[in-house]
Amino acid sequence: MSVKLSEITGLIEKVAPKNIAENWDNVGLQVGSSRQLIERIVLTLDVTADVVKEAVEKKADLIIAHHPFIFHGLKTLAADNEKGQLITMLIKNDIALYVAHTNLDKAENGLNDFLAQLLGLADRQTLEPSNPENFVKLVVYTPQEATDKIIDAFGKHGAGSIGDYDYCSYRSSGIGTFRPRPGANPYIGEIDAITSVDEDRIEAIVPRNSLKQLLIQLKNSHPYEEMAYDIIPLENGAFINQRGLGKIGWLKKPMRSVDFIDYVKKTLNLKALRAAGKMPATIQRVAVCSGAGADLIGLAKAKKADVLITGDLKYHDGQRAQENNFWVIDAGHFGTEKCVVDCFKQIIQAGLPENCPEILTAASSQDYISNY
């Protein structure tokens, strides 16, 4: 059985909306069509020649990758260079390519949360919250017989979603007045006569980016010719936002730092890791940032982490850690991000029937860096 590509990418974008990706990034569908039917997916961190060959051999219809394959503007698709060759190979074999990068890094339940969970961190918070969702309070006044219809339209179109609850609204009752002017076609009342009506005031919190669509739907559901409503800006977004880079949380029990090194190696399946700065005696509060997160050393220390686990640590990042009296573990860019395939798998499988489509992990996706 096959599934439309847009259904699969829709599941990913529900967790990791494209609009939270960094401005310099390039995410989304890079090759293929969202209408394409997909029977077999290959998941990978990077798109390499080996991964494309593997996808062809395994007769996959879709590659889902973390790192963008098409990053900067392509000037040619000529097969004289590797990029052109691989794109040609994908197109000839009807293989689509989809990328979720910094949007997945920053998603509340994205890669960093997956990594933090893998390391057994509880009470996870975002290390560097960003992209606060903008909320407004929408208040709509309606004759009481239409209240249920309006509340239903609120809930159906994303208003009143708070954590694990939706359809959250509040209503109060009062009397509304109005005078229809000549030319009006009132639902209740006469032209030029002031009319009083028992009305409900219905209010709910709405993400600002859903507001326009919601207002269109509400106007369709509302019996009045002119729907009276208020839009009130809210500050909630800055407080409930859990999008952003990195996560910070707690190990169930404190661990000796020397044991923690073994624990990280074992959990992330690493032959070796590097560390810099001052090693504390024990570790319990742990910050993680997949990929290259040395910029978060200061923030991890300020949030009282005992260690930051990241990748791509440079010599002077180590110096900064030392000067800050803080411990950083470099588990490698690949080491902290290879779990992205399992993260993708979890997101896709949660929304689709079992084994439909078939999901494979690219065996040929390897670390570019070797430790000897």
Binding site for Zn ion (CB under 5 A): 291, 337
Helix (H, G, I), strand (E, B) or coil at 198: strand
Nearer to Zn ion, 159 or 341 (CB): 341
- Cα–Cα distance, 328 to 280 (Å, whole number): 11
Taking the complex as a whole, how short is the minimal distance between the CB of residue 332 and Zn ion, in angstroms?
Answer: 10
Long-range contacts of 306-314 (CB under 8 A, 24+ apart): 306/280, 306/282, 307/257, 307/260, 307/280, 307/283, 309/119, 309/264, 309/336, 310/336, 311/335, 311/336, 311/337, 313/274, 313/276
Taking the complex as a whole, how short is the minimal distance between the CB of residue 146 and Zn ion, in angstroms?
Answer: 51
Nearer to Zn ion, 46 or 199 (CB): 46
Taking the complex as a whole, how short is the minimal distance between the CB of residue 53 and Zn ion, in angstroms?
Answer: 22
Taking the complex as a whole, how short is the minimal distance between the CB of residue 250 and Zn ion, in angstroms?
Answer: 25
Nearer to Zn ion, 61 or 337 (CB): 337
Nearer to Zn ion, 128 or 337 (CB): 337
Distances (CA, A) of 237 to 23, 243, 338, 363: 21, 11, 31, 41
> Beta strand pairing status for 135-143 and 40-44?
unpaired
Nearer to Zn ion, 275 or 339 (CB): 339
Nearer to Zn ion, 332 or 357 (CB): 332
Taking the complex as a whole, how short is the minimal distance between the CB of residue 335 and Zn ion, in angstroms?
Answer: 11
Nearer to Zn ion, 306 or 337 (CB): 337
Q: Which amino acid, one-letter code, is at 64?
A: I
> Beta strand pairing status for 135-143 and 282-292?
unpaired
Taking the complex as a whole, how short is the minimal distance between the CB of residue 336 and Zn ion, in angstroms?
Answer: 8
DSSP 154: H
The H or E element that residue 125 is part of is strand 122-129
Alpha helices (runs of H) in 163-291, residue ranges in sequence order: 208-221, 236-240, 257-267
Select from 135, 145, 146, 170 the least CA-distant residue to 219: 146
- Residue nearest Zn ion, CB atom distance: 291
Alpha helices (runs of H) in 247-308, residue ranges in sequence order: 257-267, 297-302
Task: Identify whether the C-beta of residue 337 lies closer than 8 Å to the C-beta of residue 45.
Answer: yes
Taking the complex as a whole, how short is the minimal distance between the CB of residue 285 and Zn ion, in angstroms?
Answer: 24
Q: Is 372 exposed, middle or buried (0-12, 13-18, 19+ CB in 10 A)?
A: exposed
Nearer to Zn ion, 69 or 141 (CB): 69
Taking the complex as a whole, how short is the minimal distance between the CB of residue 337 and Zn ion, in angstroms?
Answer: 5
Nearer to Zn ion, 13 or 337 (CB): 337
Taking the complex as a whole, how short is the minimal distance between the CB of residue 312 and Zn ion, in angstroms?
Answer: 8
- Cα–Cα distance, 236 to 240 (Å, whole number): 6
Q: Number of helices (H) and strands (E), helices first, in the chain?
A: 13, 17
Taking the complex as a whole, how short is the minimal distance between the CB of residue 22 and Zn ion, in angstroms?
Answer: 12
Nearer to Zn ion, 36 or 103 (CB): 103
